[in-house]
Structure 1
């Protein structure tokens, strides 16, 4: 039986080529990356942060269903859910974790010190004990802060009600991120010579009563980027509209649903920013310990014109403080 040497040679070459392709397919470069996501609760700001995160990854070369697998978990503001979901994401051996909002970030931090983790919609990573410093995190966590321009927001509210004697401040005292912002807002208001009336709500069930109390006793209300009040923004909006009380909130989405105005953060843009940080970690180009925490890159004045009309305020006269 005669053997065609040329054919044998081609067959061997083809086998080697296929073998090489198979080996390349198993390399770290083309491996499908698994990202575990834990979001504390569902509301527009956090939802947009998640959407932006996925967009940021895609812009950096990671597409879900192609070379990216997302395991998304939403705790619906339950501490028990945060704990069990964190454990699940860690046990699933994710390549990277994302924590959306301070409680979710802290839950992941308490569950793993080894899996690379990025966080977003966290007001102060250092105060939340997620990093050693914002410049050099030092551990397995980094990310983006949603610390808004509180000084501008308070100045905005006082420009809307220049003769205000009392300003209401409401938030969930159990949220570390909210407490930080509320304390800063209180200092700024007192410095401006305004009396501050503070009311807190532990759950969304308390929001209506707290809002009604402040709306009946103040000249204006400030709400920081608080997950409890953001989840009940529609309820807040209904009350302040009926009472005709101007409300400035920490986030754009809170104002769109239940406030008058803000100088706030675009949470989708913040999510994109976070996604690009995550991509650098997945690429092996950076480590969380050495990646500085990033501040929001985009701020904007937003005015709810429907609310302004209901309150009898000319929206063209609302200007962004310098």
Structure 2
């Protein structure tokens, strides 16, 4: 009897140890800016709400590539060497780097515009392999409608982006298609690094009557230099993410990226519980908010329509 009791006690100890085992989640982003930082925080907090607390039963690691794709690849290899339970790359470049570094460790991406076009999954419905995640495909048609609303006389809109970001190339095509339906031509301005953003913005002066900045990590990381050009030249600036409105863009319809992070945490939890990421369909960010910035509008020589102000989820004075 004593031997049986000891065996039962040992089994209970093993079960307790397994339950208390620390989960290792490694998070990386291509660059630090408010939207991507909010995703990171949402992932961490979503895991904590589910019982995984950093420093207790969760080893939560975060690294930024500071806008450098080579650094993103280096971080991905470093993460693989540490054998985490899940890698969470935020943004398309970081997700591509992680996917290139491992075909074994589960990857749950976040804030990726088009996972299929980026080569991350076979399809959104059946990703296959070791990758799934949350897409933040922008509501492009609504963004074009905003351009028309704040600049009804505009004939051309500038699209400023980094052609090295696959997500931005996809968004350009979507934006061009939506803009042409509304009678707007699109003028491209390329910036391969953050230091080039201001010059790219200046190249649009005299060619476009409004500027649109997509959820491009290179451009958003240097948004203030773009805002300065827009204000100097009375060019309304519409952004692809609402966090950029806080920083000086005129308006956006977009997602709450903290909530996108929490959506991502839900997928991470499914993987931690043993599901195969390749069998979890890609999910899409939900919920869109209209955010407008009165001060930015004034600086850009725009009078915001009263109807826009009234339907806004948030008005920045």
TM-score by length of 1: 0.91
1:309 paired residue number: 298
1:18 to partner: Cα distance: 5.9
For the residues of structure 2 that align with 1:255 and 1:182, how far apart are their CA atoms? 20
State the alpha-carbon separation in 2 of the partners of residues 182 and 165 from structure 1: 17
Q: Deviations over 1:9-39 (max 9, x none)?
A: 8xx9997676445322332x32101111121
Residue number in structure 1 paired with 2:157: 167
Determine if contact 2:44/2:60 at 8 Å carries over to the other structure.
no
Aligned to 2:315: none
1:148-196 per-residue CA deviation (whole Å, 9 max, x = no partner) reads 1001110111111111122111111110001111111112222222232
1:217 positional shift:
2.9
Match of 1:190 in 2: 180
Aligned residues: 310
Q: CA deviation at 1:67?
A: 1.2
Counterpart pick for 2:67 among 61, 72, 77: 77
Alignment of 1:6-155 (within 5 A): 19-27=10-18, 29-155=19-145
Determine the structure 2 residue equivalent to 1:289: 278
**Partner Cα separation in structure 2 for residue 304 and residue 140 of structure 1:** 41
Report the Cα distance in structure 1 between the residues aligned to 2:39 and 2:52, rounded to whole angstroms: 17
Instruction: Encode CA deviations 1:29-85: one digit per residue, 9 max, x unaligned.
Output: 321011111211111110001001111111222111121101212111112211221
Q: Give the one of 226, 230, 243 matched to 1:240.
A: 230
User: Structure 1: 5+ residue runs without aligned partners?
Assistant: 1-8
**Equivalent pair of 1:62/1:279 in contact (CA under 8 Å):** no
Summarize deviations over 1:73-99 as a string: whole Å, max 9, x none: 211111221122111100111111101
TM value normalised by structure 2:
0.92
**Distance of 1:162 and 1:279 partners within structure 2:** 46
- Aligned residue for 2:284, secondary structure, equals coil
Conservation of the 8 A alpha-carbon contact between 2:236 and 2:302: no
CA drift at 1:314: 3.1
The 5 A counterparts of 1:172-183 are 172-183=162-173
Q: Secondary structure at the match of 2:283?
A: coil
Q: 1:312 to 1:189 in 2, by over 3 A?
A: closer
Name the SS of the counterpart of 2:147 in structure 1: helix
1:3 maps to which residue? none
Kept after mapping to 2: 8 A contact 1:35/1:69: yes
Aligned CA RMSD, in angstroms, stands at 2.1
